[in-house]
Amino acid sequence: MFLAIKEIKHEKLRYGLIVLIIFLISYLIFMLSSLAIGLSSQNTQAIESWNTQRVVLNKNSNINMNQSVLTKEDLKNFKMTKKDAVVGELGIVAKAKGHQSVSAQFLGIKKDQFIYKDQDLVAGKKAKKTNEVTVDSSFKDQGYHLGDKISLNGSSKKYKIVGFVNNAKINIAPIVYSRFATWKKLRMAAPNVAASAVISQNSKLDFNYKDAKTYSVEKFISELPGYTAQNMTFDLMIGFLFVISLIVIAVFLYILTMQKMHNFAVMRAQGIPSKTLISATISQSIILVVIGVIIGLILMWLTALLLPDAVPVKFTPLIALGGTVGMLLMGIIGSLIPIRSILKVDPAKAIGE
Amino acid sequence: MAVIELKDVKKVYGKGEAQVVALKDINFKADKGEVVLIMGPSGAGKSTFLTIAGSLQKPTSGQVLINDADISDFSAKKSNELRLGKIGFVLQAYNLVPFLTVNEQFTLVDKVKKQNNLSKAELQDLLKQLGITKLLRKYPGELSGGQQQRAAIARALYANPEILLADEPTALLDTQNVEEVGQLFKDLAKKRDKAVMLVTHDPRLEKYADHIYEMMDGTMTKKK
């Protein structure tokens, strides 16, 4: 540690540049991870807020709630409990006079079921009448207010916003909650249509009858349009960044070690053991990574604070911890590469040079 | 009893037609309180002699005795401990660690060798003798050649070795500095009871030597 700290203090520019590279990589890892989690969360926010365990859909819907239609016949034998709630979903465009259009998901829910009851309101009240809606709080960020009247899909019928709800996004789109009857009307559903899906908090639910089929929430989420592809893309980018950081750290340390071979030979000739030189190299790598990552963490924290809410960045303690541990691991592995060269240092080379 | 003795030491590099005999049946001894010069032209085998005497490499045959103990077959770890405790090196370009101040060069020794280093008072005395008491906070790059030379000597003596091996210690010094360094080595040998072995081809150091060995084509003859 002594040699590591002294060298870094003496060679500020050289090691400062390495810290800069590590900081940039870690910042990028934190940013991409936060974006990945943010986007992923916007896909699943509502599903998680409902504490969903199982989802009953039409088996021919490709596990997509928007495409699913459950008939009364399909649900004939389904015994509704307080842990189950029916939803009717419809993709819509909401617009109020003087405001921008918002692509949203309309969810019809029933007053006596948990989704309606558990709505986490940030302002206003729950929709009681068929011409009332509660909307995701992101509407508020776009300038909508309580009492604004919105039209859906350009129809002349107006719906009054009576509440703003927290965590009400599905598949990145904000949700417009209203009464189940309103959904039926909007969808112009045939009399035998019962719902788009049944959301259940019962992890043991396994209802399969006619066209109705039960899926785990994990399966349901993984089949959300674009969800898996998006997550895999981010995972790949983050994975590559870790590999790049490993290569950068290893290459830098290797080059620096090669430049110091004569110094190492001299120290070995003077009786300084190899383990002191090896521990100095590993410590140096850890110190550089820690400094770079701390700067990356601070800047990422500030970035997350300053970015507008519209940017789906979610910088969580888990990302900070995971990124830090990952970078430290890369630093340690990277510092092991030059160790073979250090072990091979011939102290006799110090003589006559 | 000689503090260091080489008996019939031979060093061969390579095999077959590429074989080079660097040292041929070298017999050498030095005692505490003596300055011994090993002279000779480039390629005579001086550096090879120094690396074997300093336990930096093993001889092909023969014995290297330090305080009568044969070190020829020492493991790398034991050689390391020997160098750290018994042998001080002053190398050609002084070879101080460039990113450590003069004072930190001693701290590095303290980190790896906890006992029998010079006390604070002894170090102050040595620094005073070397005339570098005011240079403790300087980095090697901030020192002149002569100052670096003195700092390297202090660094080598800090671990309190019995033997001081110097490789071309005056190669980068002007005449005035050579005289000073020559006298310094003599004082170190006499007053601090060290065996000082100087590998050099600088005849200006001859007057400070108790014994002079001449090397030529891997053989050694005693001149004085």
Length of chain A: 353
Q: Do B112 and A272 touch (CB under 8 A)?
A: yes
> Is some CB atom of chain A closer than 8 A to the CB atom of B114?
no
Q: What is the mean pLDDT of residues B142-167?
A: 88
Give the percent of chain A with pLDDT over 70.
99
pLDDT score at B94: 65
Residues 174-213 of B with CB under 8 A from A: none
pLDDT score at A158: 94
> Is some CB atom of chain A closer than 8 A to the CB atom of B43?
no
Question: What is the DSSP secondary-structure string of A152-197?
Answer: ETT-S-EEEEEEEESS-EETTEEEEEEEHHHHHHHHT--TTEEESE
Computed from CA positions of residues A187, A192, A194, A197, in that sequence, does the dihedral angle turn out positive or negative? negative
> Is some CB atom of chain B closer than 8 A to the CB atom of A225?
no
Q: Is the pLDDT of residue B106 over 90?
A: yes
Q: Do B89 and A6 touch (CB under 8 A)?
A: no
Q: Tell me the average pLDDT of chain B.
A: 89
Inter-chain CB pairs, A–B, below 8 Å: 78
Express each pLDDT in A22-55 by its tens digit.
999 999 999 999 999 999 999 999 999 999 999 9
Q: Is the pLDDT of residue B209 over 70?
A: yes
Q: What is the mean pLDDT of residues A6-12?
A: 93
Residues of B in contact with A2 (CB under 8 A): 107-108, 111
Q: Tell me the average pLDDT of chain A.
A: 92
Q: Do A273 and B107 touch (CB under 8 A)?
A: no
Residue that the structure tokens 């190492």 belong to? A264
Secondary structure element (H or E) that encloses residue A70, with its range:
strand A70-71
Alpha-carbon gap: B139 to the closest alpha carbon of chain A (Å): 9
Alpha-carbon gap: B201 to the closest alpha carbon of chain A (Å): 12
B218: left (phi over 0), alpha (psi -120 to 50) or beta: left
Please determine, for the modelled complex, whether the ipTM score is greater than 0.90. no
Query: Rounded to an integer, what distance in angstroms lies between the CA atom of residue A95 and that of residue A116?
Result: 23
pLDDT score at A352: 59
Residues of A in contact with B80 (CB under 8 A): 268, 271, 273
Q: Do A271 and B54 touch (CB under 8 A)?
A: no
Strands B20-30 and B163-167: unpaired
Query: What are the residue boundaries of the structural domains of chain A, listed by start?
Result: 2-43+228-350, 54-202
Q: Is the pLDDT of residue A141 over 60?
A: yes
Express each pLDDT in A150-204 by its tens digit.
999 888 899 999 999 998 999 999 999 999 999 999 988 888 999 999 999 999 9
CA distances from A39 to A32, A48, A141, A169 (A): 10, 14, 17, 10
Q: Is the pLDDT of residue B104 over 70?
A: yes
> Is some CB atom of chain B closer than 8 A to the CB atom of A350?
yes
Q: Is the pLDDT of residue B171 over 80?
A: no
Q: Is the pLDDT of residue A353 over 60?
A: no
Q: Is the pLDDT of residue B92 over 80?
A: no
Residue of B nearest to A350 (CA): B91
Alpha-carbon gap: A316 to the closest alpha carbon of chain B (Å): 40
Partner residue opposite B47 with nearest CB, options A10, A262, A352: A352
> Is some CB atom of chain B closer than 8 A to the CB atom of A343?
no
Length of chain B: 224
Residues of A in contact with B84 (CB under 8 A): 270-272
Q: Do B89 and A270 touch (CB under 8 A)?
A: yes
Residues of A in contact with B50 (CB under 8 A): 351
Q: Do B167 and A347 touch (CB under 8 A)?
A: no
Residue of B nearest to A269 (CA): B56
Alpha-carbon gap: B184 to the closest alpha carbon of chain A (Å): 21
Do the beta carbons of residue B159 and residue B192 sit within 8 Å? Answer: no
Q: How confident is the model at residue B176 (pLDDT cuts 50, 70, 90)?
A: confident
Alpha-carbon gap: B191 to the closest alpha carbon of chain A (Å): 23
> Is some CB atom of chain A closer than 8 A to the CB atom of B58?
no
Q: Do B56 and A263 touch (CB under 8 A)?
A: no
- Kindly report the CATH class assigned to B4-222: alpha beta
Crossing angle (nearest 10°) for helices B120-130 and B175-192:
150
Do the beta carbons of residue B214 and residue B41 sit within 8 Å? Answer: no
Q: How confident is the model at residue B150 (pLDDT cuts 50, 70, 90)?
A: confident
Query: Rounded to an integer, what distance in angstroms lies between the CA atom of residue A58 and that of residue A133?
Result: 26
> Is some CB atom of chain A closer than 8 A to the CB atom of B21?
no
**Cα B221 → chain centroid:** 20
Partner residue opposite B104 with nearest CB, options A6, A269, A273: A6
Express each pLDDT in B2-48 by its tens digit.
889 999 999 998 888 888 888 999 999 999 999 999 998 888 888 89
Interface probe, candidates B49, B86, B89, B172, chain A, greatest A C-beta count within 10 A: B89
Express each pLDDT in A209-249 by its tens digit.
999 999 999 999 999 989 999 999 999 999 998 999 889 88
pLDDT score at A284: 92
> Is some CB atom of chain A closer than 8 A to the CB atom of B107?
yes
Q: Per mean pLDDT, which of A200-204, A274-278, B214-218 is the most reliable?
A: A200-204
Q: Do B98 and A263 touch (CB under 8 A)?
A: yes
pLDDT score at B208: 92
Q: What is the mean pLDDT of residues A281-302?
A: 95
